[in-house]
Amino acid sequence: MAAAALLAGLSACGPSEAPPARVEHPARVALVIGINLYQGAGEPAWPDLVSARPDAEAVARVLEERYDFKVRRLFDTYATREAILKAIEAVCRLDPEVDVFIFYAGHGFLDPADQQGYWIPSGAPRTDAPPFATNQWIANRDLADRLLAAAPRRLLLVSDSCFSGALLQRRLWEPAPGTETTASRPARFFIGSGDLAPVPDASGTHSVFAQALLEALTHPARDEFTAVDLARAVRRRVQRLTGQIVRMGPLVPEADGSFLLRRLPEKE
């Protein structure tokens, strides 16, 4: 499925203010999800967040303007479980040479019994004790299975949520020397704002993690860099400011190929 067809087919699901981006090969598609509004999803409700949507809006803008991604946005009440899974299914059907960037900012949950992590979509009920409403959330296991089976060879997932590190099979990971730019293997790379613990929402415009991500994307050391470079830049800034643990690595060891980001030339 072509990138333009994906965006045309899903554009009614949420707002998109930017003009169409210039397309180069390989095409670049981003799915950006940000959820501030959770109230009204039953009692007790998930508390609304402050920075998730502004974080997502800023990431979407940088990817469009600086990296020539075609961006699909899902914000607040548009980001239901059905809509998120439908959008993920759509990007998973894209052509193999399309580069896919997925960003999620919202609530996360960790089941203490099995250490399974979940994204919490808008409209999802909250349960504070077993049995949890997991069938109305998005399980990390289900998300990883979908992304590992996706047609695109190169995919980067960035999650700014509590317990985001639960998505990785190996939470302590560093690339072996000489493997950071391996283009022959598929890439399913993950960057998460935390490990198996809550992470704070922002008291200002952006979370610490999102601000570090935006800084790394806006002012990279080089115009072309890998997802590993991006993760390291984000990790350094976050650890310096808060001590918060940023996790990175392939979803599975055999998906450790290189995901490259190429910044557009500055406009004169």
Q: Find the angle CA(212)-CA(217)-CA(223) to the nearest 5 degrees.
A: 140
- Phi/psi of residue 231, nearest 5 degrees: -60, -40
Residue 119 clears pLDDT 90, i.e. is over it: yes
Amino acid identity for residue 132 in this structure: F
Supply the mean pLDDT for the chain: 84
Residue 96 clears pLDDT 90, i.e. is over it: yes
Mean pLDDT on 107-130: 90
- Class of residue 8 by CB neighbours under 10 A (exposed 0-12, middle 13-18, buried 19+): exposed
pLDDT: which is higher, 258 or 15: 258
Provide the b/e sequence for 191-212 (b: ≥16 CB within 10 Å).
bbbbbbeebebbeeebbbbbbb
Q: What is the spatial distance between Cα 27 and Cα 203, in angstroms, rounded to a whole number? A: 36
Amino acid identity for residue 8 in this structure: A
DSSP 3-state of 186: coil
Q: What is the spatial distance between Cα 145 and Cα 246, in angstroms, rounded to a whole number? A: 22
Residue 98 clears pLDDT 60, i.e. is over it: yes
* pLDDT value for 198: 47
The band of 26, judged by pLDDT with boundaries at 50, 70 and 90, is low
pLDDT: which is higher, 233 or 21: 233
Q: What is the pLDDT of residues 68-86, one digit of tens each?
A: 999 999 999 999 999 999 9
Range list of H helices, 99-218? 140-148, 208-218
Residue 13 clears pLDDT 50, i.e. is over it: no
What whole-number percentage of the chain has pLDDT above 90? 59
**Assigned token pair, 179:** 């493997």
* pLDDT value for 242: 85
* pLDDT value for 3: 53
Q: Could you tell me the sign of the dihedral formed by the alpha carbons of 139, 116, 149, 190, in that order?
A: positive
Instruction: For tokens 């700014």, name the residue.
Output: 160
Q: What is the spatial distance between Cα 143 and Cα 139, in angstroms, rounded to a whole number? A: 6
Report which DSSP code applies to 145. Answer: H
Q: What is the 3-state secondary structure (H, E, C) of 232-268?
A: HHHHHHHHHHCCCCCEEEECCHHHECCCEEECCCCCC
CATH code for the domain defined by 3-12+24-262: 3.40.50.1460
Report which DSSP code applies to 11. Answer: G
Q: What is the spatial distance between Cα 73 and Cα 48, in angstroms, rounded to a whole number? A: 19
Of residues 68, 93, 209, 81, the one with CA closest to residue 146: 93
Interhelix angle 140-148/81-92, rounded to 10 degrees, is 20
* pLDDT value for 222: 95
Residue 179 clears pLDDT 70, i.e. is over it: no
The band of 177, judged by pLDDT with boundaries at 50, 70 and 90, is low
Residue 108 clears pLDDT 90, i.e. is over it: yes
Q: What is the spatial distance between Cα 16 and Cα 73, in angstroms, rounded to a whole number? A: 7
Q: Which residues contact 21 (CB under 8 A, 6 or more apart)?
A: 64, 68, 69, 70, 71
The band of 180, judged by pLDDT with boundaries at 50, 70 and 90, is low
